[in-house]
Chains A and B, each alone.
Chain A
């Protein structure tokens, strides 16, 4: 079982629509990172959220970290075909907890945006 549950696993939408990807856990994280990965390439860091309740915006992407630092969401407004990719959330457990210092990855959400 994965520490971070990502949903949905797959999302297919048309250009211009909005979408939200969720990342949930019963454990607390000191930070959470979102990545996008294209086929045959490594993940590219989109954002790091650290503070509970934090909201960060990156153009059409909005990232939120839950107040309790156990969950996060990624919202894309007016999706474009270039947003297609595998979105991964990954969290760092707090100091001296199990697996601290290592990134714990969610299973990923495959997003497909069609013209």
Chain B
């Protein structure tokens, strides 16, 4: 089945550093990937849509200069949390839309295993 790989799975770093998270679709091409944030015992909150070859589109309230997204190939999107602070600590999850499995926008999204980010 479709697999999305996310790396790293867990990162701890000091306040002020930048952290890069990778999201790869392993057996399908993904022109669109999504980045979510999840707080404990809560649902997923969409942060941004990553589009291959073009700029990402951000949800309202998400700082694009804080969360840099690059989608340089059909199988890789990266999220960089710049100058991270403790309030950025969270569980970040990416997903990729498999356009081969269905028509239109009913294509299933497959999720990575998430990245636990802890900023000290």
- A-side residues, CB < 8 A to B, are 2, 30-31, 33, 35, 40-45, 48, 50, 88, 92, 95, 100-103, 105-108, 110
Pairs A–B under 8 Å by Cβ, sample size 16: A30-B105, A30-B106, A31-B106, A33-B108, A42-B4, A42-B6, A42-B95, A42-B113, A43-B93, A45-B109, A48-B108, A88-B43, A102-B49, A103-B109, A105-B43, A106-B43
Contact residues of B between 65 and 114, Cβ < 8 Å to A: 91, 93, 95, 102, 104-106, 108-114
| Number of residues on chain B facing chain A (CB within 8 A) | 26
Chain B residues, Cβ within 8 Å of A45: 108-111
Complex-state Cα separation, A42 to B110, whole angstroms: 9
Measured between beta carbons, the chain A residues less than 8 angstroms from B106 are 30-31, 48, 50, 92
Whether B46 contacts A102 by the Cβ 8 Å rule is yes
Question: B42 and A108: CB pair below 8 A?
Answer: yes
- Whole-angstrom distance between the alpha carbons of A105 and B45 in the complex? 8
Q: Is the CB of A33 within 8 A of B109?
A: yes
Determine the distance from Cα of A44 to Cα of B119 in the docked complex, in whole angstroms: 27
Q: Are B42 and A42 in contact (CB under 8 A)?
A: no
